[in-house]
């Protein structure tokens, strides 16, 4: 089974690519095993992962320790601590959006996206948030494909000197993701039937529209 590895910040810069799909060899059971294997793949990996204790890891958008098993992981992200060496960061706001099943009939949610445009639109929304608020860091990860109830769909992390900017930026990013990013949802029910495509919600557009009049908080 192929596993997608995603790299952020200076980990991405040192490795030289934002992500890759790999077939993990036998014997790679934990995050620590993965890091050791990656370091053996070449100078760029050795440079990026020379201090593995510094590297933070998320499996399927959930933070994990290096001893965590990676069996069945579809997506593994490697990134540095957001606040390392940053005395100017006073608040880090994290939001995780989950697949929910309100009626007890949902087997999975299928998320289709427009490759290329989806990533570009997320980048534009994030850039707008950075322009509007004094942020020290901002990360957004959005999954696609088949997602079961209880699993993560989206992760947003915002860092700033004060909590208000981080909270507002995370809210802004989520509101705009739901109304502007090209993602479509299709329901699959537990009885094997398809529930059809999920309609866009007027409430999502209304939530996004409130930011058009909002004054940027760059102070």
Pairing between strand 152-160 and 194-197? Answer: unpaired
* Radius of gyration, alpha carbons of the chain: 19
How many Å apart are CA 118 and CA 153, to the nearest integer?
14
Environment class of 78 (CB within 10 Å of its CB; exposed 0-12, middle 13-18, buried 19+): buried
Q: What residues contact 191, with CB distance under 8 A and at least 6 apart?
A: 105
Tell me what the mean pLDDT of segment 6-14 comes to.
91
CATH for the stretch 91-209: 3.90.1170.40
Give the Cβ contact number of residue 59 at 10 Å.
19
pTM over 0.75? The answer is: no
Contact 38, 49 (CB under 8 A): yes
- Please write the tens of the pLDDT for every residue from 147-186: 999 999 999 999 999 999 999 999 999 999 999 999 999 9
Residue with tokens 């900017």: 165
User: What is the residue-wise DSSP string for 18-45?
Assistant: SEEEEEPPTT--BHHHHHHHHHTT-HHH
- Please write the tens of the pLDDT for every residue from 116-135: 999 999 999 999 999 999 99
Contact 127, 176 (CB under 8 A): no
Q: What residues contact 199, with CB distance under 8 A and at least 6 apart?
A: none
- Please write the tens of the pLDDT for every residue from 37-64: 999 999 999 999 988 888 999 998 888 9
Q: Tell me which DSSP letter residue 121 carries.
A: H
* Superfamily name with CATH number, domain 2-79: Beta-grasp domain (3.10.20.30)
Q: Where are the domains of the chain?
A: 2-79, 91-209
Pairing between strand 2-7 and 75-79? Answer: parallel
> Residue 88: pLDDT band by 50, 70, 90 thresholds?
confident
pLDDT of the residue at 46 = 93
């Amino acid at each position: 089974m192929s596993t997608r590895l995603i790299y952020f910040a200076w980990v991405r810069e040192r490795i030289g690519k934002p992500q890759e799909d790999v077939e993990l060899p036998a014997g790679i059971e934990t995050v620590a095993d993965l890091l050791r294997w990656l370091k053996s793949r070449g100078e760029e990996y050795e440079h990026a992962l020379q201090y593995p204790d510094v590297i933070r890891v998320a499996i399927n958008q959930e933070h994990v320790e290096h001893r965590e098993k990676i069996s069945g992981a579809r997506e593994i992200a490697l990134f540095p601590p957001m606040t390392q060496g940053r005395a100017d960061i006073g608040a880090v706001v994290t939001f995780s959006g989950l697949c929910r099943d309100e009626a007890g009939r949902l087997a999975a949610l299928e998320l289709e996206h427009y490759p290329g445009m989806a990533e570009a639109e997320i980048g534009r929304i994030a850039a707008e948030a950075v322009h509007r608020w004094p942020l020290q860091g901002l990360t957004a990860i959005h999954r696609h494909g088949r997602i079961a109830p209880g699993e993560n769909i989206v992760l947003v992390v915002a860092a700033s000197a004060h909590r208000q900017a981080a909270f507002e930026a995370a809210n802004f990013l989520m509101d705009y993701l739901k109304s502007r990013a090209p993602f479509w949802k299709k329901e699959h029910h537990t009885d094997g039937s398809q529930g059809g495509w999920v309609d866009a919600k007027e409430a999502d557009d209304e939530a996004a529209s409130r930011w058009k009049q909002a004054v940027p908080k760059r102070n």
